[in-house]
């Protein structure tokens, strides 16, 4: 592996014009494809294998033209204080609004609240429901403007009017904090390298990689049904790993220069050693992201594969474009220990009077491993405590900020019709196999009415064939409550008895039931997913480190950091701690996909630091150092760079906390805090403490397994044959050659 990558690094350095041209061409091609591709809407949401999805598919086939996946809007009216909606002026204003709403080209139906009796008991609140033939993200701006204008005209008559539903759905905005995150990354790179040019290389290559990845996603979004969230997550992860991977190779390049090697040789060795770590770190991230496919939720699978593709591009760019750009920079990238003229006059830095911070910290941990280990484990355990009260759910208008019209509409409907009105259940009765379809539907209606927690049951709506019926059930509890979930299970249990007596199948669907099934499917898939991802990565790390205990320790450390991160997410987004600081206006259940998505991404990122840091220790141990000294050597060369990489990744992820999309905000915070816990507590404290306690046993591998495993040579042993390439009197000749390029 090291020798192969070494050759790639030298080739890219020598043929830099060709390599740079290839990547620029790919970026241009992806950009043109994105610009010419049709605009994609929101990704279709389906959960194969669930009852709610089965019912939804049944409605699509039995009620053709229904546009079950079309956008909806609820326009809610409240009369002025002391008045009722039935007053002549108020009624006229509502009817005028209904007529205006029905004139839209994408509107399929509009209900009249006075004909459908959509009035609250006190008569002060009414609502009309608007259905469209396209999804919320596909609605034309003209349709959204017409909806808002109709609502405003009704407000001008003195009514309180708010609009809920997904018709006003907008693409998520990340806000200015994303730019701040990149700026912080730039500052960290300048401090780390002491050079603007060296600092700019990781940023430039990361942006090119993300540009190719995100543009490709945009170009394929319509064809592959990719939502806007997919590209945002790919950008988040691709930017973070792209900067980190390039950072490690540039850092190793400068270290090789400091040892006196010529620049082409230094580039080859940097790619051969640090590049090997990049490949295996990238593989762990890709495995974790692609592994999301085991959940069997198409939307989650697409998000994972798209993000994995961006990570793969980041790896390829780090291995090829970084050495190519280093070929262009020449002496502008100084050896380690030297600064640029702008930041340090180009002079070699004075040798420190004492070892660097990484060496001092590692020496302390090696002397006090038990104390450091206990402190780290107890600290992460305390942070993980809130995770024991984790509540899962999917956001609705009730989780929107109170400043939005969607949230105000939600609250008005709750006040006028009860909390369950915002999350009605749709009961579908498939009576095609029943000898008396209408009798079966009547039995279902009567049975559901008698269940605890039901406020109302609407009369059945039959299809043209009369063999399928829809019944709307309004619970007495809010959509995300445990009581509503219990009611869904109660209806399904009752449906089993009804089928036995009538041959009619009872299915429960609707947004609330879909959310319940979605959460359950994710919970059921978590253990198999963990087993698959951790198992594959464990085998991969055995090959990298040629050890059994080091990969085991890496996996256990990951579990600590991810549990602590979930605890922090619960504390902020569910309990409300520091919610104002994070811009969280409304607390509530944690997004259902958050735990499994976080497990996948954090595992991949955690293994990055494990590979980069421990590979240096392994390299020192293989070259003859004692276990304790190898730990110190690994920190001497790797701690500064790993720290910089972690700070950069935290800054990039934190930038997405400013997103208007609650899922992006939550994932940005979760990944940032997880990287903090994993990099600075697990990898910087717990890992060296455990390795110090294990000693030589840390690198133990059964002989039969050692013979069976392929030798990937991450440590670069195969590069010793090239030591004769080191010049004795510097690299002046090489620099003169580069000056003529």
pLDDT, tens digit, for every residue of 535-567?
Answer: 887 888 888 888 889 888 888 888 899 899 999
116 or 726, higher pLDDT: 116
Specify the DSSP element, H or E, that contains 26: helix 16-36
Q: 230-239, pLDDT tens digit by residue?
A: 787 788 788 8
Q: Identify the pLDDT of residue 169.
A: 67
List pLDDT tens digits, range 314-324. 999 999 999 99
- The pTM for the full model equals 0.78
pLDDT tens-digit profile of 153-182?
A: 999 999 999 998 877 765 555 555 567 777
- Buried-state track 443-480, b at ≥16 Cβ within 10 A, e below 16: bbbebbeebebbeebeebebbeeebbbbbebbbbbbbb
pLDDT confidence tier of residue 729, bands split at 50, 70 and 90: very low
Distances (CA, A) of 570 to 237, 323, 377, 671, 678: 22, 43, 19, 13, 18
Highest-confidence range of 118-127, 135-144, 161-170, 387-396, by mean pLDDT? Answer: 118-127
Adjacent-strand bridge partners of 129: 74
Average pLDDT over residues 119-147: 84
Instruction: Provide mean pLDDT across the span 393-409.
Output: 78
| Top-confidence range, 352-356, 406-410, 598-602 | 406-410
DSSP-derived letter for residue 119 is B
Q: What is the pLDDT of residues 613-657, one digit of tens each?
A: 887 888 788 778 898 999 999 898 888 888 888 888 888 888 878
**Amino acid 109: pLDDT:** 85
- Confidence band (pLDDT; 50, 70, 90) for 739? very low
3-state DSSP of 647-702: HHHHHHHHHHHHCCCHHHHHHHHHHHHHHHHHHHHHHHHHHHHHHHHHHHHHHCCC
- More confidently predicted of 289 and 1: 289
Q: Which residue has the tokens 């808002």?
A: 148
* pLDDT higher than 80, residue 350: no
| pLDDT at residue 16 in the model | 92
Percent of the residues in the chain that have a pLDDT greater than 70, as a whole number: 89
CA distances 701 to 552, 637, 662, Å, are 12, 25, 46
Whole-angstrom distance, CA of residue 512 vs CA of residue 472: 12
Residue range 39-94, pLDDT digits in tens: 655 555 678 888 888 988 888 888 876 655 677 888 999 999 989 999 999 999 99
Distance CA 101, CA 111 (A): 10
d(CA 488, CA 448): 10
Q: Is the pLDDT of residue 266 over 70?
A: yes
Task: Decide which of 183 and 15 is more confident.
Answer: 15
What are residue 163's DSSP bridge partners?
75
Note the pLDDT of residue 515: 85
Backbone angles phi, psi at 131, to 5 degrees: -115, 140
Half-sphere exposure of 55 (CA within 13 A, CB side): 22
d(CA 150, CA 88): 19
Residue in the structure block whose two tokens are 């069976």 = 708
pLDDT value, residue 713: 63
pLDDT score of 222 more than 70: yes
Which residues partner with 456 through β-bridges?
474
């Amino acid at each position: 592996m090291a020798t192969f990558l070494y050759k790639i690094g030298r080739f890219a350095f020598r043929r830099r014009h060709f390599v740079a041209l290839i990547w620029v061409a790919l970026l241009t091609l992806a950009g043109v494809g994105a610009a010419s591709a049709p605009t994609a809407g929101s990704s279709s949401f389906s959960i194969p294998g669930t009852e709610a999805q089965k019912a939804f598919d049944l409605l699509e086939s039995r009620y053709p033209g229904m546009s079950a996946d079309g956008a909806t809007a609820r326009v809610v009216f409240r009369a002025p204080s002391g008045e009722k909606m039935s007053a002549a002026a108020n009624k006229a204003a509502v009817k005028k609004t209904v007529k205006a709403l029905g004139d839209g080209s994408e509107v399929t139906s509009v209900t009249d609240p006075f004909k459908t009796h959509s009035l609250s008991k006190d008569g002060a609140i009414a609502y009309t429901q608007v259905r469209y033939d396209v999804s919320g993200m596909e609605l034309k701006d003209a349709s959204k403007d017409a909806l808002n204008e109709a609502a405003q005209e009704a407000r001008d008559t003195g009514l309180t009017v708010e609009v809920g539903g997904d018709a006003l759905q907008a693409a998520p905005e990340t806000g200015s904090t994303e730019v701040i995150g990149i700026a912080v990354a730039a500052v960290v790179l300048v401090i780390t390298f002491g050079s603007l040019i060296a600092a700019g290389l990781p940023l430039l290559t990361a942006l090119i990689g993300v540009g190719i990845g995100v543009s490709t996603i945009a170009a394929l979004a319509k064809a592959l049904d990719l939502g806007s969230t997919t590209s945002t997550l790919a950008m988040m992860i691709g930017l973070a790993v792209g900067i980190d991977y390039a950072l490690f190779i540039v850092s190793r390049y400068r270290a090789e220069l400091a040892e006196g090697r010529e620049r082409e040789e230094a580039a080859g060795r940097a790619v051969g050693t640090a590049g090997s770590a990049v490949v295996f770190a990238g593989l762990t991230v890709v495995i974790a992201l692609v592994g999301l496919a085991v959940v069997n939720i198409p939307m989650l699978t697409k998000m994972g594969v798209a993000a994995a593709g961006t990570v793969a591009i980041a790896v390829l760019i780090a291995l090829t474009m970084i050495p190519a750009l280093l070929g262009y920079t020449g002496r502008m990238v100084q050896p380690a220990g030297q600064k640029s003229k702008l930041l340090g006059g180009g002079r070699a830095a004075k040798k420190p009077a004492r070892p660097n911070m990484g060496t001092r910290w590692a020496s302390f941990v090696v002397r006090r491993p038990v104390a450091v280990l206990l402190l780290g484990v107890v600290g992460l355990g305390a942070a993980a405590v809130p995770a024991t009260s984790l509540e899962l759910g999917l956001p609705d208008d009730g989780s929107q900020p109170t400043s939005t019209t969607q949230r105000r509409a939600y609250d008005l409907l709750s006040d006028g019709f009860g909390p369950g009105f915002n999350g009605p259940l749709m009961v579908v009765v498939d009576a095609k196999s029943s000898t008396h379809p209408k009798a079966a539907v009547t039995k279902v209606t009567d049975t559901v009415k008698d269940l605890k927690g039901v406020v109302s049951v609407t009369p059945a709506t039959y299809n043209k064939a009369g063999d399928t019926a829809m019944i709307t059930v309004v619970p007495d509890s809010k959509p995300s409550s445990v009581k509503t979930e219990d009611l869904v299970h109660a209806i399904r249990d009752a449906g089993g008895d009804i089928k036995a007596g009538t041959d009619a199948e009872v299915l429960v669907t609707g947004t609330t039931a879909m959310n319940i099934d979605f959460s359950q499917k994710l919970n059921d898939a978590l253990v198999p997913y963990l087993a698959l991802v951790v198992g594959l990565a464990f085998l991969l790390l055995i090959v990298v480190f040629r050890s059994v205990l080091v990969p085991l320790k890496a996996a256990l450390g990951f579990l600590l950091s991810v549990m602590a991160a979930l605890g922090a997410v619960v504390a902020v987004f569910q309990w409300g701690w520091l919610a104002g600081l994070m811009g969280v206006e409304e607390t509530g259940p944690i997004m259902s996909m958050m735990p499994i998505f976080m497990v996948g991404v954090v595992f991949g990122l955690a293994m990055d630091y494990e590979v980069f840091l421990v590979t240096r220790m392994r390299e020192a141990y293989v070259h003859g150092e004692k276990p304790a000294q190898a730990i110190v050597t690994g920190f001497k060369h790797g701690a500064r760079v790993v720290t910089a990489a972690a700070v950069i990744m935290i800054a990039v992820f934190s930038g997405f906390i400013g997103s208007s999309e609650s899922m992006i905000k939550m994932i940005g915070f979760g990944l940032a805090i997880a990287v903090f816990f994993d990099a600075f507590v697990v990898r910087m404290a717990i890992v060296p403490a455990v390795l110090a306690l294990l000693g030589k046993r840390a690198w133990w591998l059964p002989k039969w397994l050692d013979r069976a495993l392929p030798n990937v040579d991450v440590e670069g042993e195969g590069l010793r044959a090239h030591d004769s390439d080191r010049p004795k009197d510097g690299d002046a000749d090489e620099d003169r050659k580069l000056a003529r390029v």
